[in-house]
Structures are given as structure tokens and as C-alpha cells.
Amino acid sequence: MSLLQNEAPSFDSIDVPRTGQAGYVMEWVIDPANYCSEHELITRRALAERISGLLGMQYFGPVSRRPPPSGPLYFIPSDTVESHRAQAIGIRSESDFFGGAVPFAYVATKAISHALHDQGAACPRDWVESFAPRVAKCVLPGYSAFSEDDARTAGRALLRDGAVRVKPVRATGGNGQTVVQDAASLDRTLAGVPHMDTDGVVLERNLRDPRTLSIGQVKVGALTMSYYGLQRLTRNHRGHCVYGGSDLTAVRGGFDALNAMQLEPSLRLAIEQAAVYHAAVVESYPGFMASRINYDVAQGPDDTGQWCSGVLEQSWRVGGATGAEVAALEVFKSQPERSLVRASCFEVFGETELPPGACVNYSGHDPEVGRLTKYSFVEAHADAT
């Protein structure tokens, strides 16, 4: 059976070798239309090579027409993968890949975070109605919709309490989102949302000047670390505010290790909300597994002045913060005595000077976004306080 990088083949008959002393890390492009721009491809390859070093394996390259090498294989998918495809290619547990696997495609999108506005509203065939109520206190007020009529009804209900943020469910880094103030602007925005009947759309309470925290956990080989971080925004070459990087504080172990730290109440709340959200995913969707989890949590006032905190979205794939994640893991591996690492990653549009010790994952002129540099670095010393 061929493993083709540029199509969506069936892997049903693949027999992946699981024995032998050698091990190989392989990239796996799930969909060439997603996360496969020049800078994303090159960045993912750089990170794959670094993850190979963490595992003590060899970097083999992308899944292709070549037969897989003999020996254990470790995969780095470009996106969250459906469980049946992960199993068919040889992924049996979170130790076999960097990312996440979900039983249904919609589970990997923003759509799962909110309930439908009406019981009879359109939704995917495998929609799990019990999930949204379980995370209602962990997310911002909002609804998911899978038709323009349902989205208009849900959006008008939210507009009674202030501005509404309309979010395509597959866009990342804040791209494609629109804040609407009234029904007319809502209707115009919804008319331009693509693939609403299949992918859906999220309508959510808009916050004024929120801060966005990242709460995450990564497992690679014998290493497990959890972290909290603060995202930075920057302007791209079109003048739009987009993701500009993250500053992470990482500790060895799970979320309990994070909770053992001295934390401000709002940060502790964000960690608790992410942990509850993650537990609900695990319990609600059999077949889910992930070695890399990241939850964005927004905190700030809404139009009524009420302070809110809630998970915006989940990421179970190589993401914007992965450069900092890998940098922190490298320190934990090389310095067993370290219990805390502060690592940062940056995405800079235009020319920039690199700080000492920076590790560059991409630097070039991407045909889609222009001149871009992506790098990470680690603080030389960090106190475990």
C-alpha cells in the first residue's frame, strides 16, 4: 500500500513494523490544503528533526511512496487526525505520535465548545449533545451553528448582551474572525462564512482587550511537561493583528504540578478550566488520544463590564507554541535537575534581530505571508517559584 503525501489514501492494510532497535520519525501531511504553506512545512520539518533528537530516533522525512523503514515509527501529523486513520497507519497510543486523534472530524474544531441554540438545529450526524453542557462553565457564552438560519437566530440572541464574535471553526491565530455589533452586520458576516453546513460556525460573547493564556501539556518519550503561557499579538504585512508568539512557564509533570505553584487566582482559574475541558473531551469522545494538548483561555470584560474567563479553542497538533514547547523539553532532557523552564517563541513579520541563543525554525519570504522569521529561545536560568 502506498502512503501518499498529497492525497487522502486509505491505510487499512498497512502493517507497520513495531520491532527492532532503530526508530524513525516521520512527518504525515493530513491535508495539503491545511497547515502546508511554505513556512508551515519548513517549520514542521525543523521541529520534527528536534523531536527526533529528544526521542533518540532518526528523522526519516515525510510519509511518501517509499515503504516505511523497519523498526518503531513515530509520526508527526500536520493536523489532528481521525482515530481510524491513526490506527490504520500504526498509531496505537499517545507515545506513537506528536498531536491528537479524534473519533469524528468536527471534534478537532472550535464547534465542540458550544451547544446548539435550538434542540432541532442542524448538526453533524455524530454530534455529542452531552459535551457542551459539561464545559459550559469553562467557555465563554456562545453557540455553534451548522446553517445560516440557525446562526442568525443564535447570533441575535447573543447580541442582546453586547457585541458578538463570529468565528470560522477551522481558522487559527485569530484569522477570519469578525466582531459584529448588530443584526445587519451579523447577516452580512454570516453570508461570507464558507462551508457552514459541513464545518459550522461559532458565535461567541466578545471580550474587550482580553488577555489570551495558553494552558498545555506535552508528552514526548519519557518526558511529560505542563505549562501556562501568555500569547502575544503582532501585525502581519497586511496590517492585521495575528498570533506573534508565546511566553511559556513549563514544569515537569501534569496539571497537578502546575497547580502546586504559587499562582494568581485568574491564572489558576484558567488552568482549572483547561483541565476540566480536557477531562470532558477524554470522557465524551471514546478513541480520543493526544500527546500534545493546548487550550487558549481568554480573560477580560465583555460589553456589560462583566469579567469573563473561558476556553476559546483547543489544539491537538503542532501549533504556534510548539517551538517553545520543544525548546523547554530539550532543557528538561539535558538538565534533569531542572524542574521549571521559561521558554518563548516569536513570529516576526519583516526584518528582525535575533536574541542570543535563539533557535530559528523558519526565516524567509513565504509566498502567502511575506517576510517571516519564527524562532524560540529559553531563559538561561529560571527559579521554580
Buried b (16+ CB within 10 A) or exposed e, 229-267: bebeeeebeeeeebbbbbbbbbbbeebebbeeeeeeeeb
Domain coordinates in residue numbering, the chain: 24-98, 106-134+141-205, 211-378
3-state helix, strand, coil in the chain (%, to 5): 25, 30, 40
**What does the angle CA 26 – CA 31 – CA 36 come to, to the nearest 5 degrees?**
75
Helix and strand numbers, DSSP H then E, in the chain: 8, 18
Fold match between 106-134+141-205 and 211-378? no
Radius of gyration (C-alpha) of the chain in whole angstroms: 21
CATH for 211-378?
A: 3.30.470
Chain position carrying cell 451579523 = 186
Strands 24-28 and 73-77, how do they pair?
Answer: parallel
Closest CA to 213 of 308, 320, 298: 298
Whole-prediction pTM: 0.89
Closest CA to 376 of 336, 333, 321: 321
Q: Which pLDDT tens digits describe the chain residue by residue (385 residues)?
A: 223 333 333 333 344 444 444 689 999 999 888 889 999 999 999 999 999 999 999 999 888 766 667 778 999 999 999 999 999 888 999 999 999 999 999 999 999 999 999 989 999 999 999 999 999 999 999 999 999 999 999 999 999 999 999 999 987 766 788 999 999 999 999 999 999 999 999 999 999 999 999 999 999 999 999 999 999 999 999 998 889 999 999 999 999 999 999 999 999 999 999 999 999 999 999 999 999 999 999 999 999 999 999 999 999 999 999 999 999 999 999 999 999 999 999 999 999 999 999 999 999 999 999 999 999 999 886 554 4
Rounded CA gap, 357 and 133, in Å?
A: 46
**Fold topology of 106-134+141-205:** Dna Ligase; domain 1 (3.30.1490)
